[in-house]
Structure 1
Amino acid sequence: MIDRSIHPNTRTLLDAWRRMQADPQSHALTGPGAHDHESLIDRIFVVEQREDQSWLVRTSGTTLNALVGRNLVNNNYLDLWTGPDRAMMAAFLESIRFDGAPGVVRGRGETLNGERVELEITLMPLSAESGRSPRLRMLGLYQTLGAEPMLTGKPVFRHRISMLVPPDTRRSGVQLRLVAAQ
């Protein structure tokens, strides 16, 4: 995933995910701790894929709940999205699940009064294995990109997708190139 212009909270979470993937057996992670990023922790959520292909929200932070105007726990994450955006989000979650790597959604949230806020939603698998895991969980970060005070406490009612940044599955390291000459 190309992460040139992402929010600092997104970068922090992606860096932590990469460290965990590099050494999954380690329980003592190096780098910043949760106490260093309190504003990030309240925007985190965890979703779990169910057998019916829904994505049940297992936990959600207090700031996230306030932004959407309700507690998301035990609700289908896909219910935040409608129409083509819902179908794109379902396919996007599937690509993250299959590739076993993080992805980022850029979009906007709208209140019932028409106020808008730009959003960046990061999703990353909580399992080191990609493929067909029936109970996969993903860690998510719901980050606003400015203009949050303009909402004046009104909940985000509608979510729209502007851009999807799929998992980057390129392998780093030595690459072999075959050149044939006649």
Structure 2
Amino acid sequence: MMHAHSRTLVSYWDARRRDDAVPARADISASELKEILGNLFMLQRHDSSHHVFRLAGTRLCEIQNRELREQNFLSLWRGYDRAQMKLLLESVLANRAPANAYAIAETLGGDKIEVELVFTPLASKGGDVDRVLGLYQPLQSPDRFGRRPVIRHDLTRMTLPVTKNWALPATPPPPVPKAANDI
């Protein structure tokens, strides 16, 4: 089940789509997302291996204990997890649909919390779907981290984009039973 803030972001993204499959970056207003602003981030795809932070909320930067702007989002991940996050981001952009992931964030001191990440695709001015509006939502309080930064994330699970319309396919109606005299 998604965190309430995650549902807020996906609902907001969905409302901004209008008739388009993906809202434009210009359709997003930070003032409408005040409740979750500190955990939001925006990525810009430079190539499949470089999804760079354009913006990063203050709470996200505090948890990481550094400014993330202009850094590669994929640098938060290692090895197999990095490859999986790269594929997830590319899938969000290609399918033009949101996805989410869960990970364990760990500090140098060994403190751990679970985080939920949500990724929603956006179109740039030119119409290319090359941006991601995301949410980094701790599922436990990161206050115990103190000033110790998160040094690694371990991916625990992810949900791939479902369809271009962010909806599950309709279930076909059951077959109509034939009358006894039709047999």
Unpaired runs of 5+ residues, structure 1, are none
Does 1:151 pair with 2:145? Answer: yes
Cα distance, 1:28–1:138 mapped onto 2, change above 3 Å: closer
**2:168 aligned with 1:161:** no
The 1-side partners of 2:138 and 2:171 are apart by 38
Larger fraction in strand: 2
Counterparts of 1:53 and 1:178, CA distance in 2: 47
Q: One-letter code of the match for 1:168?
A: V
Structure-1 residue corresponding to 2:101: 105
| 2:61 pairs with 1:62 | no
Shift of 1:172: 5.1
CA contact (8 A) 2:48 2:86 kept: no
Cα distance in structure 1, aligned partners of 2:91 and 2:143: 33
Q: Structure 2 vs 1, CA of residues 177 and 96 (structure 1 numbering), >3 Å: closer, same or farther?
A: farther
Taking only aligned residues, the RMSD between alpha carbons, in angstroms, comes to 3.0
Say if 1:33 and 1:150 are closer, same or farther in 2 by CA, change over 3 A: same
TM-score (norm 2): 0.79
If you compute each CA radius of gyration, which structure gives the higher value, 1 or 2? 2
Q: Which amino acid aligns with 2:33?
A: A
User: Are 1:53 and 2:49 counterparts?
Assistant: yes
CA–CA distance in 2 between the matches of 1:147 and 1:34? 21
**Residues in 2 aligned to 1:145 and 1:93: alpha-carbon distance in whole angstroms:** 21
TM-score (norm 1): 0.80
